Amino acid sequence: MDKVKRMPNRSYGQFCGLARALDTVGDRWNLLIVRELLPGPQRYNELKASLSGIATNLLAARLRDLEANRIVERRLADAGVSYALTPWGAGLREPIEALINWSAPLMITGRGDDSFQPRWLATALPALLRDVTADPTVELGIQVGDFLMTLRIDQTGPSVVIQPEQHPETILMAPPEAVLGLAAGALTTDQALTIGEMQGDREVLLTVFPSRRSNAAAALASALNSI
């Protein structure tokens, strides 16, 4: 009846950086929680809502583990608790961005029945557009849901700023499948624009400032084709 002693925690037991990284953040939901916290701190119920489907006991357990491993820290916000990444935890941005870039072929099938949060674009777009240079300087405001950001492409490369001051004349409102499909290279810029213009009943509206429109389309096309 007394079998061999069981390992208390299921570690790979390998002296390898990858194995130890996965020992720490390899459990289910862990990296998705980190992704959720990359744009900024979140409350427990915000995390629970964004990670649709996570069991509440699992979310609590994962947050406890991540806190014990110094990846996440609890902060006392007004009227509640707020979860934020430590500097080391925020260092997971690079691996996460690398996984997002690698996964581009998995995104061209479109959204399907999957859930979507505009917040995810704040991590995905900078990753997908990294190391891309465009000839003319382009600045687009992107609004998906109630999430505002500015996509800027210039000689120094592309950058995405979250929650910028609004530029109403250059706001691109698009459904997530159009934006991410475009970002993944699934659609040409023209197709994406067409989709945006065709589905007006879904509150999809494209209003790039006219004098910049061709520049924006060309820059986006060249940027996205090189992904």
Interface ranges with a copy of itself (CB under 8 A) = 12-24, 26, 28, 31-32, 35, 52-53, 88, 91-92, 94-107, 111-117, 120, 123-124, 127-128, 176-177, 180, 184
Minimum CB–partner distance for residue 108 and a copy of itself (Å): 11
Please tell me the distance from the alpha carbon of residue 167 to that of residue 177, in angstroms, as a whole number: 23
- Determine the Cα angle at 92 with ends 91 and 96, to 5°: 140
Binding site partner of 61, from a copy of itself, DNA, none, Cβ cut-off 5-8 A by kind: DNA
Interface with DNA, residue 57, by CB under 7 A: yes
Interface with DNA, residue 28, by CB under 7 A: yes
Judged by CB under 7 A, the residue of 68, 81, 99, 108 near DNA is 81
Using DSSP's 3-state secondary structure scheme, residue 69 falls into: coil
Structure tokens given for 153: 């492409």
Please tell me the distance from the alpha carbon of residue 85 to that of residue 66, in angstroms, as a whole number: 9
Binding site partner of 9, from DNA, a copy of itself, none, Cβ cut-off 5-8 A by kind: DNA
Binding site partner of 139, from a copy of itself, DNA, none, Cβ cut-off 5-8 A by kind: none
- List, in sequence order, every residue forming a beta bridge with 170; answer none if it has no partner: none
Count, residues in the chain:
227
Minimum CB–partner distance for residue 36 and a copy of itself (Å): 10
Residues 6+ apart with CB under 8 A from 20: 12, 14
β-strands 171-173, 138-144: how paired?
A: parallel
Residue among 94 and 169 whose Cβ is closer to a copy of itself: 94
Judged by CB under 7 A, the residue of 40, 80, 91, 200 near DNA is 80
Judged by CB under 7 A, the residue of 33, 34, 54, 184 near DNA is 54
The identity of residue 137, as a single letter, is T
> How many C-beta atoms surround the C-beta of residue 138 within 10 A?
21
Interface with DNA, residue 23, by CB under 7 A: no
Residues 6+ apart with CB under 8 A from 40: 84
Binding site partner of 177, from DNA, a copy of itself, none, Cβ cut-off 5-8 A by kind: a copy of itself
Interface with DNA, residue 16, by CB under 7 A: no
Strand (E) or helix (H) holding 144: strand 138-144
Please tell me the distance from the alpha carbon of residue 80 to that of residue 16, in angstroms, as a whole number: 39
Minimum CB–partner distance for residue 184 and a copy of itself (Å): 8
Structure tokens given for 22: 């996965």
Report the interface residues with DNA, using CB under 7 A.
Answer: 3-4, 6-7, 9-10, 27-29, 43-46, 53-58, 60-61, 63-64, 74, 77, 80-82
